A and B are shown apart, each in its own frame.
Chain A
């Protein structure tokens, strides 16, 4: 438990989410042709927060929000001891020819995003796909994937782990950097 470092506390997290929302509004205007997809499981909570904030700022309640599960598209299947348990995908709108904003909490190797892109393409061909992450862990990428919107950037080593905690699931809003005990 020692050596835990808080990257974003509750107030910083709120500010980051607000800033990300304004950046999204700059690029997507009234969101009439844009949709938001949160990646299961942790990206969905962030996507909901951002959606709520966007609705608050723009008073536009019709911004489409969905969740996307990447489990069946992952590249580490059968390379782990136990099956990867799937989560729910819920996309009640059409993504064909839309601008898709993919949202995840932490970007590190880029493998989850790669799986997310494949999973998303099963629903159609979007016009454009952008990536929004709360934490960008630099220098750890295994794939050529870069985010368009970043909450905060950190430099970390592979033995460390970034954990996003949310009031909805963990009772507290904070992003921490942990020493990996495994």
Chain B
């Protein structure tokens, strides 16, 4: 019978196409479950999951927690700001202390790329990556591709453009891996300062003109400008482009831009949205946007990942 080829979910890079297909088919079943009158199933009732968030998160944390609770797992939450990390404890010590309380799985977000891979070599529990720095955010990429597939069907040969802050985005990298494994063509678009220099070595196309990219694609994923990773904020000045207003004029998705297109692509956004920066309110709330479907699918996809990892590791 089918099972995942991996013990942990560290990144999309380690997954095979068959793994992704298995996660999607299971997520389809869970999507049906979360639309029932009683949305809970007892599958993970003997499992304890620790959510370790060493970096701020709202929707990913809520989505994981809801997925865990819908599967009847016991859940403990940990956020770095209120912990001994501020007292100088190392990552391995922190995690081992939590595992000593008989925890089976760890869902972790960490600012350092590779923190999960490092941890997986030192501890026994199953690790799920909920974002590591600007490296990977696998469950986000899975739910994005799952949502796109729901709208567009098979993704083989489909064209997807990722627009915005590619340089600081873990969502972009995971999505590139995931979409390419599913046979889609990927383009990145944004100001040259926010596109990594050697990104074309991943086999993606690069465009610096949004209108061109929109004309080309079947789906457009808008990314948030990550001011917190750019060493600046709205008031103290942003290093990578002159102003948010200029960014919006050149790379913001507006209804005017969409109206010029022959066929309008579906619009995705991993959230949180900066309305009026990378996307206008009008577009974000239009029928082309599947942003809220992404959020719904996020719970189903995370349930599938947790279910499949938990059942492979008995």
Contacts and interface: CB of A to CB of B under 8 A. Distances in A.
Interface of A: 69, 71-73, 77-89, 118-119, 121-124
Contacts of B312: 82-83
Given A82-B1, A83-B3, A85-B26, A73 B42 contact: yes
Given A85-B2, A85-B26, A86-B29, A78 B310 contact: yes
Contact of A124 (B4, B26, B37, B43): B37
B2 A82 contact: yes
Contacts, number: 66
Among A73, A77, A87: residue with most chain B CB under 10 A: A77
B2 A83 contact: yes
Given A73-B41, A78-B310, A123-B36, A83 B1 contact: yes
A83 B43 CA distance: 11
B95 interface: no
Interface string B10-40: 0000000000001001100100110011101
Contact of A79 (B4, B42, B314): B314
22 contacts: A72-B41, A72-B43, A77-B44, A77-B311, A78-B47, A78-B310, A79-B314, A81-B3, A82-B312, A83-B4, A83-B307, A84-B311, A85-B1, A86-B29, A88-B32, A89-B29, A89-B32, A89-B33, A118-B42, A122-B36, A122-B37, A124-B37
Interface residues of B, number: 27
Contacts of B314: 78-81
A118 B308 CA distance: 21
Nearest to B310: A78
B234 interface: no
A146 B234 CA distance: 69
A78 B47 CA distance: 10
B46 A78 contact: yes
